[in-house]
Amino acid sequence: MKYQQIDQYAAKISDEKRTAVYGGSKAGYDSRKKALFTHYTAPDDLRRLAGNIKQHTIENLDTYLPQVEAKLQANGAKVHWAEDSHEACQHVLEIMRARNATKIVKAKTMVSEEIGLAHYLEKEGIECLETDLGEFIVQIAHDQPSHIVKPIIHKNRREIAKLFEENGLGDYNDDPETITRRARQYLRHKYLEADVGLTGANFVSAESGRLVVVTNEGNSRFSLAATKVHIALVGIEKIVPKDRDLAILLNLLARSGTGQQLTVYTEFISGPRSATQPDGPEEMHVIFVDNGRTEVLASDCREILRCIRCGACLNVCPVYRQASGHAYRSVYPGPVGAVLSPLLAGKKFPELADLPKASSLCGACNEVCPVNIPIPDLLLRLRDRGKREHSEAAAAAAPPLGGFALGATLPIAWKSALALGGLINFVPRALLPRAVKSWIDARGLPPWRGGQFRKWMKQRKMK
């Protein structure tokens, strides 16, 4: 391959889309900075603390997973385990079939995207309706979300207005308030018609068996007030050791992701509805999903499992801002996706091994990560792996550096190169190595000064 796919994608997106993505990301970055630095004197200390809490958790998952399972069962929830996407979808289907259920209202959960749930259920005649406004719009547009927190960061109001008109949700009107009211009106009756409310979980406390679900819109609450069955899809890495740890993580999550102190609703769900409550699920099912996470745990990139899906790394990433989330060809885009997606791909790692290369390794992602994941280090490890596994996608457009490395280990060769390098100005452009041509086309070259410093230094020493 001559070109890197993500660079190509970035070159081809419309100005409108790039403006929307850039503006949305930058706003997210600015609001995070304001929230954290106005509220705390040492937000970086908090990030390190939260990182240590999550690192401890993933390194002790062998203890915490059985512990959280026992707690959930004691609370009256049923616990299921899914090795892969297919099994996870099957569990959902079985729960539906057992109750002759055909309608799900769904809050936002990236795991459901990962396992392709809506598509799977559609084939089984089950309606799986997105209720988060952004995801609802993605669904009716047959599109893909391009950000893990702001799914339609790439869309503008005109596109949404047209979409609503095409889907029988009123005449063309691109006023954001009108759009929102229409969605509210349409979806509230859908909740009441549905059989099952499906959510993810931002955290699961191993101490109390509580799922924590954070939202702004109230869609998760409505799903769990109107329906009789709750299904929660939870990645095995979402565990938090103690309730008290949640205070730190919750203080960081919304500030990092949206610049809010807390999202509007923080739900702590530990079982089906209480005996005296007329509304809500009588049954609660938690499906713990592996789907490649144990492989990540076994790898030298396990720190990525700390991720709490805030989206801060996307917001600050200069590559994400230029390319948009769709460029990453996977469920998780941006810096976190560049690590997680190729790893979760298992045997298909080489196909996504270009994702870790789509970075200048600037380190801004680590700087904003609420759990201090050393993303650039993980990207580097994956580049090493991509090279060793001879990934074509990773190797695309890469200048061969073997010769450079050789020259850099032989001082005589090096000094010759310094002396002769000036000849580059006389080599016809067509004969230059592709990488050099690419550089010179965009930037030219400064005057060649090979050997000059060493000469100066020698003369200085002689004085």
Partner 1 sequence: MNLSREKILGRVRAALAPLKTRAAHPTFADNAATMRSLSTIDATALFKERLQLVNGRAFDDAASLVAWLKSEGHTHGYCDPTLWPSLESAFENSFKVETSFDRTRIDDYQFGITRSVGAIAETGSIVINDGSTSSRLGALAPWVHIAVVSKKQIYPDLVSAVMSLGEDPNVIWCTGPSKTADVEGILIQGVHGPGVQIALLDI
Partner 2 sequence: MPKTTPQRPKGKRIQLMATCLCDAFYDDVAAATVEILEHLGCEIDFPEAQTCCGQPAFNGGDWAASRKVVRHAVKTFAGENPVVVPSGSCAAMMYHGAVLEFEKEPDLASVKQLGHRTWEVCDYIVNGLGISTWSGRFDAKIAFHRSCHLRGSGSTDAVYKLLRSIESVELVEFDEFEQCCGFGGTFSVTFPYISKSMGELKLNHLRAAKPDIIVSADMSCLMHLGGLANKQNQPIKSMHVVQILRDALKNSGGLAK
Does residue number 167 form part of the binding site for partner 1 (CB under 8 A)? no
Q: Which of these, 284, 297, 285, lies nearest to 236 by C-alpha position?
A: 297
392 binds, among partner 1, partner 2, none (CB under 5 to 8 A by kind): none
- The minimum distance between CB 265 and partner 1, in angstroms, equals 6
* 3-class SS shares of the chain: helix, strand, coil, % to 5: 55, 10, 35
Whether the CA torsion 107, 109, 111, 117 is positive or negative: it is positive
Does residue number 27 form part of the binding site for partner 1 (CB under 8 A)? yes
Q: Considering only residues 327-356, where is the footprint of partner 1 by CB under 8 A?
A: none
456 binds, among partner 1, partner 2, none (CB under 5 to 8 A by kind): partner 2
172 binds, among partner 2, partner 1, none (CB under 5 to 8 A by kind): none
CB-wise, 116 or 450, nearer to partner 2?
450
Distances (CA, A) of 432 to 16, 404, 439: 36, 15, 11
Distances (CA, A) of 147 to 53, 102, 118: 26, 29, 18
Q: Considering only residues 58-87, where is the footprint of partner 1 by CB under 8 A?
A: 59-62, 65-66, 75-76, 80-83, 87
In the numeric block, which tokens belong to residue 222? 């409505």
CB-wise, 296 or 373, nearer to partner 2?
373
447 binds, among partner 1, partner 2, none (CB under 5 to 8 A by kind): partner 2
CB-wise, 172 or 453, nearer to partner 2?
453
Interface residue with partner 1 among 202, 251, 324, 341 (CB under 8 A) is 251
- The three-state secondary structure class of 260 is coil
CA distance 459 to 1: 48
- Residue 447 CA, chain-centre distance (Å), reads 43
CB 146 within 8 A of CB 326: yes
Q: Considering only residues 258-297, where is the footprint of partner 1 by CB under 8 A?
A: 258, 260-274, 276-280, 288, 290, 294-295, 297
**What one-character-per-residue DSSP string does 129-151 give?**
EE-SHHHHHHHHTT---SSSS-T
Interface residue with partner 1 among 104, 160, 198, 365 (CB under 8 A) is 160
In the numeric block, which tokens belong to residue 157? 């109001």
In the numeric block, which tokens belong to residue 266? 């923080």
60 binds, among partner 1, partner 2, none (CB under 5 to 8 A by kind): partner 1
CB-wise, 6 or 129, nearer to partner 2?
6
x/- binding map, residues 114-153, to partner 1, per CB under 8 A?
A: -----------------xxxx--x------------xxxx
In the numeric block, which tokens belong to residue 59? 């390194």
Does residue number 302 form part of the binding site for partner 1 (CB under 8 A)? yes
Return the DSSP state at 102: -
Part of the chain binding partner 1 (CB under 8 A), chosen from 46-54, 367-375, 384-392, 409-417:
46-54
CA distance 243 to 268: 10
Does residue number 446 form part of the binding site for partner 1 (CB under 8 A)? no
Q: What are phi and psi of 38, to 5 degrees?
A: -75, -40
CB-wise, 4 or 112, nearer to partner 1?
112
Q: Considering only residues 388-407, where is the footprint of partner 1 by CB under 8 A?
A: none
The amino acid occupying position 11 is A
- The minimum distance between CB 48 and partner 1, in angstroms, equals 9
**C-alpha dihedral (417, 419, 423, 425), degrees to nearest 10:** 100
Q: Considering only residues 83-112, where is the footprint of partner 1 by CB under 8 A?
A: 83, 87, 91
Q: Considering only residues 175-214, where is the footprint of partner 1 by CB under 8 A?
A: 176-177, 179-181, 183-184, 187-188, 191-192, 208, 210
